């Protein structure tokens, strides 16, 4: 097999491939076996017509298209491997010559992975920001725990609603005296001060009594999802049916025992402090990695093919759609609600997609330059962690990854993590 490789433009390679005639004949034979079921000839059962009969009736050319596909599928991967290319998309293939008595010649134009030029990627002296856990941080966590254990107590009829109270309300929204869609509710529990309603609504209920009717007047936000209501003056007729207030448990040793296996409130606070310190250390490490990656990526240079950014954008879009689906929501409804088109969403994602691609190329390049690799033990540990998450045996998870050709993706995750760890290590200011 002869291959002539020409660089057409940045990251685009043209391969002119010539396949020997003996392989052409083998491909035609395979094409006959694969396509003979598609032909009927009187006197023969369908799929059993001899090749010479089909060639005599239709001409040998009926096998050319399938044979060409077979030859390309057999030879293109081999050419890519021999030429040490890294395609980032399917090739654009043109058949230049197909004749049963001649070599098969085709041209494949392929976009390949770009070469990233590292700038300075060591000794950048990035400062690791260490956050100290203050007593106030511990008290805030304790307060959150106390709030989570609070009970809602129904108040007396003459009590007025205050911020942080929960009110049970019926409401009817009107614009120009007419009720509007989505503006009505019954027995709705609303936490005053939560900001869950239109701005200005909750504030006007503070000071109202149980059984009282309040006329809430406000201007809808300009960015409101309903164009008919955006920026318009509306009124809500609201009836306060019930007022409930939080009753907080006492912060004592009994409270500590209730929330966990702690003998005293002091022991609970000590545990919370340790957890906050662990979190602070992890956040500092994550921030350092982020800062280092930003700095090294900024100094790197690469001309990224548009198809790589397009593919990454599509992958990000699929992830977004999956998140909506997992929440029981339809992506189409989100588009309608936000007033954005699919093109708008993809345009917003494109800068992030370009950054993602550059990051992948950067970590790949650092791995090669620094001879960073993935050991089998590391791969096994990663698979073991995945198995633990999914509640399966490690062997079953590995088998599934191999069958779906995802094992290499797991290796790349480990490789990139190690490359980022390396960058953090060599760029941290001591």
Closest to 177 measured CA to CA, from 215, 123, 130, 128: 215
Quote the number of domains for the chain: 3
**Torsion 171-173-179-183 (CA) sign:** negative
pLDDT digits (tens, 9 = 90+) for 353-367: 999 999 999 999 999
Structure tokens at 403: 């069958």
Using alpha carbons only, what angle is made at residue 358 by residues 357 and 362, rounded to the nearest 5 degrees? 120
Q: Indicate if 298 and 327 belong to the same structural domain.
A: yes
**Tokens linked to 270:** 């000590």
Q: For position 334, what pLDDT does the model report?
A: 83
216-255 pLDDT tens trace: 999 998 888 788 888 899 999 999 999 999 899 999 999 9
Angle made by CA atoms 399, 409, 308, in degrees to the nearest 5: 145
Angle 9-14-19 from CA coordinates, rounded to 5° = 175
Q: Do residue 217 and residue 306 come from a single domain?
A: no
Of the pLDDT bands very low, low, confident and very high (cuts 50, 70, 90), residue 45 is confident
Residue 145 maps to a domain: no
Instruction: Report the pLDDT value the prediction gives residue 354, as an integer from 0 to 100.
Output: 96
pLDDT band (50, 70, 90) for residue 312: very high
Q: State whether 331 and 415 are in the same domain.
A: yes
Percent of the chain scoring above 70 in pLDDT: 100
Same domain, 242 and 287: no
pLDDT digits (tens, 9 = 90+) for 49-69: 899 988 898 999 999 999 999
Residues 55 and 186 in one domain: no
- Do residues 229 and 278 share a domain? no
- Residue 330's pLDDT is 86
Quick one: 193 and 275 in the same domain?
Answer: no
Where is the domain boundary, 111, 127, 159?
Answer: 111
What pLDDT is recorded for position 236?
93
126 close to 373: Cβ distance less than 8 angstroms: no
4: tokens are 């002539």
Chain position carrying tokens 């790949």: 364
Burial 294-331 (b: 16+ CB within 10 A, else e): ebbbeebebebbeebbeebbeebbeeeeeeeeeeeeeb
**pLDDT tens-digit map of 4-39:** 999 998 999 999 999 999 999 999 999 999 999 888
Choice between 272 and 338, residue whose per-residue pLDDT is larger: 272
**What is the chain's alpha carbon radius of gyration, rounded to the nearest angstrom?**
34
User: Would 11 be classed as within a structural domain?
Assistant: yes
User: pLDDT value at position 254?
Assistant: 92
Q: Percent of the chain beyond pLDDT 90?
A: 78
Write the pLDDT tens digit of every residue in 71-83: 999 999 999 999 9
| Residue 405 belongs to some domain of the structure | yes
Residue 87 clears pLDDT 90, i.e. is over it:
yes
pLDDT the model gives residue 229:
87
Q: Which domain holds residue 274?
A: 265-427
254 within some domain: no
Tokens for 340, please give them: 């954005």
Check pLDDT > 90 for residue 47: no
- Residues 224 and 288 both lie in one domain: no
- Burial of 9 from C-beta contacts in 10 A (0-12 / 13-18 / 19+): exposed
Question: Both 270 and 413 in a single domain?
Answer: yes
pTM above 0.95, yes or no: no
Whole-angstrom Cα distance, residue 16 to residue 24? Answer: 16
| Mean pLDDT, residues 305-328 | 93
Which residues, other chains included, contact 277 with Cβ-Cβ below 8 Å and sequence gap of 6+?
133
Domain end point (choices 212, 247, 282): 247
* CATH code for position 19: 3.30.70.1050
In a domain, residue 238? The reply is yes
| Residues pairing with 94 in the sheet | 107
State pLDDT tens for residues 373-408: 999 999 999 999 999 998 999 999 999 999 998 999
């Amino acid at each position: 097999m002869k291959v002539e490789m020409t660089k057409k433009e940045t990251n685009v390679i043209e391969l002119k491939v010539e396949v020997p005639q003996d392989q052409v004949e083998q491909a035609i034979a395979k094409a006959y076996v694969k396509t003979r079921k598609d032909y009927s000839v009187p006197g023969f059962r369908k799929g059993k017509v001899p090749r010479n009969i089909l060639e005599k009736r239709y001409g040998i050319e009926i096998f050319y298209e399938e044979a060409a596909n077979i030859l390309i599928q057999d030879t293109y991967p081999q050419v890519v491997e021999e030429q040490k290319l890294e395609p980032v998309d399917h090739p654009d293939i043109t058949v230049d010559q197909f004749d049963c008595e001649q070599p098969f010649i085709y041209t494949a134009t392929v976009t390949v992975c770009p070469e990233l030029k590292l700038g300075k990627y060591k000794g950048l002296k990035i400062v690791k920001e260490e956050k100290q856990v203050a007593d106030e941080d511990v008290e805030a966590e304790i307060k959150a725990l106390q709030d989570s254990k609070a009970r809602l107590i129904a108040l007396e009829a003459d009590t007025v609603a205050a911020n942080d109270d929960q009110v049970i309300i019926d409401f009817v929204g009107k614009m120009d005296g007419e009720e509007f869609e989505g503006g009505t509710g019954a027995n709705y529990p609303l936490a005053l001060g939560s900001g869950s309603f239109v701005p200005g609504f909750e504030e006007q209920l503070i000071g109202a009594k149980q059984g009282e009717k309040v006329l809430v007047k406000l201007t809808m936000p300009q960015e409101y999802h309903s164009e008919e209501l955006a920026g318009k003056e509306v009124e809500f007729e609201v009836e306060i049916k019930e007022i409930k207030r939080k009753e907080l448990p006492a912060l004592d040793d009994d409270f500590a025992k209730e929330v966990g296996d702690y003998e005293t409130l002091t022991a609970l606070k000590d545990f919370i402090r340790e957890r906050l310190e662990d979190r602070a250390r992890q956040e500092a490490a994550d921030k350092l990695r982020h800062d280092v990656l930003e700095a090294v990526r900024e100094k790197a240079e690469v001309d990224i093919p548009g198809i790589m950014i397009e593919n990454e954008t599509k992958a990000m879009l699929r992830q977004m759609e999956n998140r909506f689906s997992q929440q029981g929501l339809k992506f189409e409804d989100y588009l309608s609600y936000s007033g954005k088109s699919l093109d708008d969403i993809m345009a917003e994602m494109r800068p992030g997609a370009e950054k993602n691609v550059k990051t992948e190329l950067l970590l790949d390049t650092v791995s090669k330059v620094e001879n960073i690799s993935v050991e089998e033990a590391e791969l096994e540990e990663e698979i073991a962690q995945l198995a633990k998450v999914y509640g399966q045996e490690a062997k079953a998870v590995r088998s599934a990854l191999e069958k779906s050709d995802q094992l290499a993706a797991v290796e790349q995750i480990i490789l990139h993590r190690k490359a980022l760890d390396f960058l953090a290590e060599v760029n941290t200011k001591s």
